[in-house]
Amino acid sequence: MPHQNKVKKLNRTKPHREAMLRNMATSLIQHRTIETTEAKAKELRRVVDRIISTAKKDTLSARRQVAKTIQDKKAFKKLFNEIIPQFDKRDSGFTRVLKAGFRRGDNAAISRVELLIEKPKADKGSKKTSKKKTAEKNK
């Protein structure tokens, strides 16, 4: 029985696994979605949800804890300036893992990890003009 086995080792040493998850978390923050194998995606979801939960506190110590994992300055700023404000109403479940098929070379299950961020909606009212204005232009 696999009691107390909370970490999937992903067939890597601890430093390699931690570095890989740090890099994947940074890529997810930069691009908002990435594709990877299913096991890595599930582990990445745990890491990113913890990072975002910590970042939502927005204290100096929280920023320093997040900086341990997100070491790229641009991604760090993007996390605090763009991503965290969009999660102000959400307490957990910041990411989702969707199955995306199978890899061509070895048939490994591929999943897409996405941040649950609402995309900015296009303002439909600004492009439409009233019929009167278009009629006046045609005269």
Q: From CA 109, how far away is CA 40, in angstroms rounded?
A: 11
Question: Within 13 A of 102's CA, how many CA atoms are on the CB side?
Answer: 5
**Is pLDDT at 121 greater than 70 in this prediction?**
no
**E runs forming strands in the chain:** 33-37, 95-102, 109-115
At 3-52, the pLDDT tens digits run: 888 888 999 999 999 999 999 999 999 999 999 999 999 999 999 999 99
Say how many C-beta atoms besides its own lie within 10 A of residue 7's C-beta. Answer: 10
What are φ and ψ of residue 102, in 5° steps?
A: -130, 145
- pLDDT at site 139: 58
30 and 74 in contact (C-beta within 8 Å)? Answer: yes
Q: Which fold has domain 14-118?
A: 50s Ribosomal Protein L17; Chain: A, (3.90.1030)
Beta strands 95-102 and 33-37, pairing class: unpaired
How far does CA 40 lie from the centroid of its chain?
A: 14
Q: According to the model, what pLDDT value does residue 1 have?
A: 84
- What residue type is 55 in one-letter code? A
The domains of the chain are located at: 14-118
